[in-house]
Amino acid sequence: MSKKRVYLFEEADGKNRLLFGGKGAGLADMTKAGLPVPPGFIITTEVCKEYYENGKKLPEGLMEEVLEAMKKLEEKTGKKFADPENPLLVSVRSGAPVSMPGMMDTILNLGLNDETVKGLAKRSNNERFAYDSYRRFIQMFGNVVLGIPHEKFEEILDHYKKEQGVKLDSELSAETLKKVVEAYKELVKKETGKDFPQDPYQQLEMAIRAVFDSWNNERAIIYRKLHNIPEDYGTAVNIVTMVFGNMGNDSGTGVAFTRNPSTGEKEFYGEYLTNAQGEDVVAGIRTPQPISKLAEEMPEVYKQLLEVRDLLEKYYRDVQDIEFTVEKGKLYMLQTRNAKRTARAAVKIAVDMVKEGLITKEEAILRVSPDQINQLLHAQIDPKAEKKVIAKGLPASPGAASGKVVFSSREAEKRGKEGEKVLLVRPETTPDDIGGLAAAQGVLTSRGGMTSHAAVVARGMGKPAVVGCEAIKIDLEKEQFVVGDVVVKKDDVITIDGSTGEVILGEVPMIPPTLSDELKELLSWADEIRKIGVRANADTPEDAKKAFEYGAEGIGLARTEHMFLGNRLPLVQEMILAETEEDRRKALDKLLPVQREDFIGLFKAMQGKPVTIRLIDPPLHEFLPPLLDLTVEVEVMKAKGITGKELEEKEKLLAVVKRLHEFNPMLGFRGCRLGMVYPEIFEMQVRAIMEAAVAVAKEGLPVKPEIMIPLVALESEMKVLGELIHRVAKQVIEESGVNVEYKVGTMIEVPRAAIIADKLAKVAEFFSFGTNDLTQMTFAFSRDDAEGKFLGIYREKGYIEEDPFEHLDAEGVAELMKIGIQKGRSTRPDLKVGICGEHGGDPKSIELCYILGLDYVSCSPFRVPVARLAAAQATLKHQKKMEFVDRTA
């Protein structure tokens, strides 16, 4: 085979991380840039693949290539591998194309044996250093290559420390270390039946194999699964000349970031230890010094480091995380890579770098993940805080919250309004719980998925939520929950982390949310770039104001039913219980002015941006007590012999609840079906919307109402209700003499609506995909039931890759959307198409929406900044493709 398998650092192409791995690429880049990198070479990831394809055999001829490269190292260093006089030592390190920190193996000080250790001692003039290095090498090699448990070496070390009456490894003398070495070698012999390999060449080959093997150790496999890293990438092997930071006070080792990875400030940030090796920094034996101190201790080296920092940032155009060693006053660079950073730092760095001319706005946008934006918008648990995690549920709504546990919404509402910090804990929530949710700091449920009622409402409110936490067993009667052997009673304080799903005992310190100027600037660039609009789902003027503040370009979904709760509930119940159309109209007449005020508030908050209002959607029985509770009440009263008016009234109510009861409310009598059977309800709502619009217009303010019909499945529904809306709207306009432009559109949330979209578009001027329900019906998944029953298990076992309620299902639901969009636009080419399901705030789904050719996404106010960034990223990601590919194809 003529394929080159081994590359000296100066031969490798740092841009080809797939071939050389991240670490190797960085070392190659630095070498070529003339930075002081210890001589070394890379065995490519291709070799790793060959190794596995060959049944874990090194390809023929590989070791010959390696030895040739070793010769080059010998030439450069003047040392000789396996030479007892002046031995060349190397480290053997893994280096995958994508960073997998700590997942794979590294061996240092390779090349030491009973002979070369003496040479090292002599050359370094430091016998203790030489035997400590040898001891460490045997331990590392024994563990990584030979598979001997770490603890067995530690036992030996402990034995000698006790024997010598010392506490630290570094206090052991050269003589004792020699004994440790002997004991280690005996251990190796005992465990493997063979002597510790004395031949450095054999050591080298074994180490290379061990690195390849580590690609498939269990923790690496799990890490790759978690981070979606392809299994077939493989790892490269880096063989680097050892340098030593522990050769005296003119030596040292450190790590540094080219900017502050926590705040993003442009300052050289890091720490170092003099007379130490990398391990010692990690071990925390001595406290490292801040990097600025190096300016005093080794001003030359510090100056050199600053130059390196400059050069690397310019080269990589990103913040670097570097490792260096100083050996006897000489600086060596051992690693450079893009630095991990906090969300806050990510934003600041991206924006600063644009201003410094280092990167473009487009690059800045791609540098920050939507998830990071999300983190910035919610209170977070202080990462430094100690916490006792007692359970983990689904991270349904980001942010953290602490409060006294309360098991009833009514109590949460009462105490919350009185200013107490309470946390609502329920098996699940219903629209009845809205008041409690609003007043609580956060919500924890034992049932439901990412789009369960609690999750959706909490996200809408920007309130932390952990849902579907099945580990906690709630006992509503005793007002407590149990998890394992921990019992949490009412008024005990807990903390939930809605970004991780953690449930924590007691109160934990928090970091407040910040919406920095840099973030605002970054998002304004995102707005310039993105080709897809961002609206918000908001039901109240408060939400609308928040949405506007966060940059929403309109309201994509205002749910009117949320306006039917609280003190309006009695009116709504009166309407439902009405036995004649006349009585129903009377109740509706009382609701009309209330709804009108709601809409005036929404319109004003949005300052003339379009406001899409969905007519009432849920089944009427949601506004009455649950059948089960009421039946039990009545039967218990009877059993207790209670009679009289109270029972009679309850029985009367029960009769209505029974009549309205449905086996499958999701597929039931709701949405436009209500409007078809009780047109007076929709008439009232349309009148309230239009009267509100007229009132706002009369004040000289701009207003753009868009009236949306839910749950349409038939052409006749669109036709009949479209006519109803136009009729009432025209009436209001005529009565008032004020002309307000409005639009009529429909949700597409029933599969059939997508299929007959061409017919619906005859009347509908816009479509809004209700992907929550569309997902439920396309999959036949009930979002209230699926998670706890089977969907959780499906995800766990890999039967389904993602929760389709979290990320839009590209294979199924999006296919239906595609049909709906194509058919809809075939009738009405300028049809406006949006999405207002929970997916509207999910970056992955936003990308899919962009590909599908949607005009806008709509999400909860707190997701608006996330969506703005994600929309810009989608545009950038597909910009090139878009030149060749039809966006809707």
**Annotated binding residues for substrate:** 559, 614, 749, 770-773
Residue among 639, 700, 880, 883 that touches its own copies (CB under 8 A): 639
Look at residues 86, 104, 108 and name the one whose alpha carbon lies nearest to residue 95.
104
Look at residues 358, 313, 375 and name the one whose alpha carbon lies nearest to residue 339.
313
Q: Which two tokens stand for residue 260?
A: 């502050």
Q: Is 378 a catalytic residue?
A: no
Using CB under 8 A as the binding rule, whether residue 578 contacts its own copies is answered as no
Using CB under 8 A as the binding rule, whether residue 780 contacts its own copies is answered as yes
Using CB under 8 A as the binding rule, whether residue 884 contacts its own copies is answered as no
**Bridge partners for 324 per DSSP:** 254, 333
Gap between the Cα atoms of 27 and 550, Å rounded: 43
Using CB under 8 A as the binding rule, whether residue 773 contacts its own copies is answered as yes
Using CB under 8 A as the binding rule, whether residue 802 contacts its own copies is answered as no
What single-letter amino acid sits at 56? K
Q: Which of residues 818-837 bind its own copies (CB under 8 A)?
A: none
Gap between the Cα atoms of 539 and 545, Å rounded: 11
Q: Virtual CA dihedral for 484, 490, 495, 497, nearest 10 degrees?
A: 70
Gap between the Cα atoms of 784 and 540, Å rounded: 25
Number of residues that bind its own copies (CB under 8 A): 57
Using CB under 8 A as the binding rule, whether residue 784 contacts its own copies is answered as yes
Q: How far is the CB of 759 from its own copies (least distance, A)?
A: 8
Q: How far is the CB of 427 from its own copies (least distance, A)?
A: 9
Using CB under 8 A as the binding rule, whether residue 471 contacts its own copies is answered as no
Q: At what angle do helices 200-214 and 127-144 cross, to 10 degrees?
A: 50
Stretch that binds its own copies, among 264-272, 354-362, 780-788, 849-857 (CB under 8 A): 780-788
Using CB under 8 A as the binding rule, whether residue 811 contacts its own copies is answered as yes
Q: Is 469 a catalytic residue?
A: no
Q: How far is the CB of 785 from its own copies (least distance, A)?
A: 4
Q: How far is the CB of 791 from its own copies (least distance, A)?
A: 9
Q: What is the 3-state secondary structure (H, E, C) of 53-66?
A: HCCCCCCCCHHHHH
Q: How far is the CB of 796 from its own copies (least distance, A)?
A: 11
Q: Which residue has the tokens 């010598």?
A: 164
Q: Which of residues 652-671 bind its own copies (CB under 8 A)?
A: 662-669
Collapse the DSSP code of 70 into the 3-class scheme (helix H, G, I; strand E, B; otherwise coil) and give the result.
helix
Q: How far is the CB of 404 from its own copies (least distance, A)?
A: 27
Q: How far is the CB of 721 from its own copies (least distance, A)?
A: 10
Using CB under 8 A as the binding rule, whether residue 756 contacts its own copies is answered as yes
What are the Cα distances from residue 839, in Å, to 79, 365, 857? 61, 21, 8
Q: How far is the CB of 773 from its own copies (least distance, A)?
A: 8
Question: Where would I find the beta strands (DSSP E) of 595-683?
Answer: 610-614
Gap between the Cα atoms of 661 and 654, Å rounded: 10
Q: Which of residues 602-631 bind its own copies (CB under 8 A)?
A: 627-628, 631
Using CB under 8 A as the binding rule, whether residue 889 contacts its own copies is answered as no
Using CB under 8 A as the binding rule, whether residue 813 contacts its own copies is answered as yes
What are the Cα distances from residue 25, in Å, to 7, 229, 238? 11, 18, 10
Using CB under 8 A as the binding rule, whether residue 701 contacts its own copies is answered as no
Q: Virtual CA dihedral for 813, 819, 820, 825, nearest 10 degrees?
A: 150
Using CB under 8 A as the binding rule, whether residue 569 contacts its own copies is answered as no
Find the catalytic residue in 48, 378, 453, 621. 453
Q: Does residue 832 contact residue 745 with C-beta atoms inside 8 Å? A: yes
Using CB under 8 A as the binding rule, whether residue 713 contacts its own copies is answered as yes
Nearer to its own copies among residue 632 and residue 701 (C-beta): 632
* DSSP letters spanning 242-264: ---S-SSTT-EEEEEESS-TTT-
Q: Does residue 423 contact residue 441 with C-beta atoms inside 8 Å? A: yes
Q: Which residue has the tokens 């039901």?
A: 539
Residue among 750, 846, 859, 871 that touches its own copies (CB under 8 A): 750
Q: Which residues are annotated as a binding site for Mg(2+)?
A: 749, 773
Nearer to its own copies among residue 522 and residue 720 (C-beta): 720
Gap between the Cα atoms of 100 and 158, Å rounded: 31
Q: Which residues are annotated as a binding site?
A: 559, 614, 749, 770-773
Q: Which two tokens stand for residue 629?
A: 């509770």
Length in residues, the chain: 889
Q: Which residue has the tokens 């509908």?
A: 764
Residue among 782, 807, 827, 878 that touches its own copies (CB under 8 A): 782
Nearer to its own copies among residue 319 and residue 396 (C-beta): 396
Q: At what angle do helices 679-698 and 715-736 cross, to 10 degrees?
A: 40
Residue among 781, 850, 856, 862 that touches its own copies (CB under 8 A): 781
Residue among 413, 598, 809, 855 that touches its own copies (CB under 8 A): 809
Using CB under 8 A as the binding rule, whether residue 677 contacts its own copies is answered as yes
Residue among 592, 676, 738, 882 that touches its own copies (CB under 8 A): 676
Gap between the Cα atoms of 757 and 826, Å rounded: 9
Look at residues 539, 560, 537 and name the one whose alpha carbon lies nearest to residue 550.
537
Q: Virtual CA dihedral for 551, 835, 784, 370, nearest 10 degrees?
A: -50
Phi, psi of 557, deg, nearest 5 = -160, 110
Using CB under 8 A as the binding rule, whether residue 647 contacts its own copies is answered as no
Q: How far is the CB of 774 from its own copies (least distance, A)?
A: 9
Stretch that binds its own copies, among 112-120, 325-333, 570-578, 714-722 (CB under 8 A): 714-722
Using CB under 8 A as the binding rule, whether residue 229 contacts its own copies is answered as no
Nearer to its own copies among residue 551 and residue 619 (C-beta): 619
What single-letter amino acid sits at 298? M
Look at residues 623, 620, 619, 627 and name the one whose alpha carbon lies nearest to residue 655.
627
Nearer to its own copies among residue 419 and residue 644 (C-beta): 644
Phi, psi of 397, deg, nearest 5 = -150, 120
First-to-last alpha carbon distance for the chain, in angstroms, is 44
DSSP 287: P
Residue among 130, 401, 777, 872 that touches its own copies (CB under 8 A): 777
Nearer to its own copies among residue 109 and residue 451 (C-beta): 451
Find the catalytic residue in 48, 469, 672, 836. 836
Could you give the residue ranges of the DSSP H alpha helices within 566-612?
569-577, 581-606
Stretch that binds its own copies, among 146-154, 248-256, 511-519, 813-821 (CB under 8 A): 813-821
Q: At what angle do helices 116-124 and 127-144 cross, to 10 degrees?
A: 140
Residue among 132, 691, 717, 838 that touches its own copies (CB under 8 A): 717
Using CB under 8 A as the binding rule, whether residue 851 contacts its own copies is answered as no
Nearer to its own copies among residue 52 and residue 794 (C-beta): 794
Q: How far is the CB of 790 from its own copies (least distance, A)?
A: 5
Q: Does residue 104 contact residue 215 with C-beta atoms inside 8 Å? A: yes
Stretch that binds its own copies, among 186-194, 362-370, 392-400, 636-644 (CB under 8 A): 636-644
Q: Where along the sequence are the contacts to its own copies (CB under 8 A)?
A: 627-628, 631-632, 635-636, 638-640, 662-669, 673, 676-677, 711, 713-714, 716-717, 720, 749-752, 755-756, 759, 773, 776-782, 784-786, 789-790, 793-794, 798-800, 809, 811-813, 815-816
User: Which residues are marked as active site?
Assistant: 453, 836
